[in-house]
Structure formats: structure tokens, C-alpha cells
């Protein structure tokens, strides 16, 4: 089965500072990878997804970017954080096979921008 | 555009009571999938169930049951004889039918916080 590791688990950053959240996947190859954000009291919003190395699709315009340097590594970045970037960031994957649109989620990274 | 509405923000019950969570969705697609996920205090989302739009058979799994009614665009979830460990946020979600770009692109509702007290 698939396992997702995310780090850091918690992060407090000042406005204007850079960001790097990392996600790695075990137990599958060539997964589809996703970054979701959960704002306080709200549901999850899809930010980025990737169907392969170097392939990134953005779902919403924002201050963040994503990269996939390796098959099972997905990174969320920002050059200058905004207050509105605060939230709970969840990495997810599925295997990309037919019947496998069930997502496995990581434990999340909680970002507070001050 | 797809939309998922969970009108209940929070439900508080005493242990052993039943809890029903409402979910109403909107989509133009004729083929789609519906999901329920559980988010315990630890934060990680746990998959509970998936239903495709052609399968309206309701399901019972242990203390969980689901009621999918396409005619009213609803996909409700019931916890029978609730326990303290059921305390969590429950999310309903919708996705288009399978396709390379659609897999995993879920539209989530805002979630319902369930609080079960002893």
C-alpha cells in the first residue's frame, strides 16, 4: 500500500520569507501527486497536481509553486510568503490506474505565516 | 461547475446516538464519483467510501451506512451507535469520471465536525 511522508509537520514563518514543503511517496511507482490546502474551517482546495516528473498543473492562481524532481517526490514552494498562505497543506497520491481514483493522504504540514 | 455542500457545520451527540451527515452535490457530468473521507484530530484524511454515479445501491459497512439518491443529488452518511472515536471532521467529495487529468481532482465540501461525548 502507498505511504506518504510530509515534512515539516509544523512551520511558523514570517511574511516575505521563502517556503519549501516536501512530500515523498512509498509503495507505488509513477503515482499522480497532488497538493491540497485546507484553510481554517473550510474544505480542501486542490492547488497543484502532477502526472509525471516535471509535469505540473496549477488549479488556482496563487503565490505558490510546485515541482516534481523525482517520480515520488513533490515539493511545494514560495519565494515570499503572504499571510493568506497560512493553512494546512496535504499531499496526496493515487496510482493512476483504472479504478484507483481513491486518494491516499499524508499527515499534512501546518503553516502559520506571521 | 462542480459543487459540494455540507450544510451542517458541527453535530454534537452523546455516545450511542446515531449521526447522519448530509451532502448535496452539483455536477453537469453524467458519470462521476462521490466520496466520504474522515479527518481525525491528527489531520490525515482517511478514505471511507467511494460510489460511482451508476451505483445507487446503498451500503452498510459495520456501523457506517450510506444513502445515495441521484434524484435529489444527495449522498448522506450515517454512523450508527456513535462512539467517542468517531469524533472527527467528515468530508464529502466529488470527482469526474476517471481520466488521466481527472483522477484525484476532488471537489470537497466544507466538512462537518462530529463531536461524540461519553
**Each residue's pLDDT tens digit, B27-85:** 988 889 899 999 999 889 999 988 888 887 778 888 999 999 999 999 999 999 999 99
- Among chain B residues, the shortest Cα distance to A107 is held by B44
Across the range B9-37, mean pLDDT stands at 94
Interface test with B, best of A102, A107, A108 (most B CBs within 10 A): A102
pLDDT of residue B102: 61
**Each residue's pLDDT tens digit, A46-89:** 999 998 999 999 888 778 999 999 999 999 999 999 999 999 99
Contact B112, B9 (CB under 8 A): yes
User: A106 and B111 in contact by Cβ < 8 A?
Assistant: no
d(CA B34, CA B50): 6
B110 contacts: CB under 8 Å, gap ≥ 6: A41, A42, A43, B5, B6, B9
- Among chain B residues, the shortest Cα distance to A90 is held by B44
Contact A110, A86 (CB under 8 A): no
Please name the member of B4, B33, B109 whose beta carbon is closest to the beta carbon of A101.
B33
User: A94 and B104 in contact by Cβ < 8 A?
Assistant: yes
Interface test with B, best of A44, A45, A58, A93 (most B CBs within 10 A): A44
Mean pLDDT, chain A, integer: 91
User: B104 and A32 in contact by Cβ < 8 A?
Assistant: yes
Please determine, for residue B100, whether its predicted confidence score (pLDDT) is greater than 60: no
- Among chain B residues, the shortest Cα distance to A9 is held by B43
pLDDT of residue A98: 47
Amino acid at each position: 500500500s502507498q505511504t506518504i511522508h510530509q515534512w515539516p509537520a509544523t512551520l511558523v514563518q514570517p511574511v516575505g520569507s521563502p517556503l519549501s514543503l516536501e512530500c515523498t511517496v512509498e509503495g507505488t511507482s509513477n503515482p499522480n501527486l497532488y497538493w491540497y490546502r485546507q484553510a481554517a474551517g473550510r474544505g480542501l482546495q486542490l492547488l497543484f497536481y502532477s502526472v509525471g516528473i516535471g509535469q505540473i498543473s496549477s488549479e488556482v492562481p496563487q503565490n505558490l509553486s510546485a515541482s516534481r524532481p523525482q517520480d515520488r517526490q513533490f515539493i511545494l514552494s514560495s519565494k515570499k510568503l503572504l499571510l493568506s498562505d497560512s493553512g494546512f497543506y496535504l499531499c496526496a497520491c493515487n496510482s493512476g490506474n483504472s479504478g484507483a481514483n481513491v486518494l491516499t493522504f499524508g499527515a499534512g504540514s501546518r503553516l502559520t505565516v506571521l | 461547475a462542480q459543487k459540494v455542500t455540507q450544510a451542517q457545520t458541527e453535530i454534537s451527540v452523546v455516545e450511542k446516538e446515531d449521526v447522519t451527515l448530509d451532502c448535496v452535490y452539483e455536477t453537469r457530468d453524467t458519470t462521476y464519483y462521490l466520496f466520504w473521507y474522515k479527518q481525525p484530530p491528527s489531520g490525515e484524511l482517511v478514505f471511507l467510501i467511494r460510489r460511482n454515479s451508476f451505483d445507487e445501491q446503498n451500503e452498510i459497512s459495520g456501523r457506517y451506512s450510506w444513502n445515495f439518491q441521484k434524484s435529489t443529488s444527495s449522498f448522506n452518511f450515517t454512523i450508527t451507535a456513535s462512539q467517542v472515536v468517531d469524533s472527527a471532521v467528515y468530508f464529502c467529495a466529488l470527482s469526474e469520471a476517471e481520466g488521466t487529468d481527472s483522477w484525484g481532482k476532488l471537489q470537497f465540501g466544507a466538512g462537518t465536525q462530529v463531536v461524540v461525548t461519553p
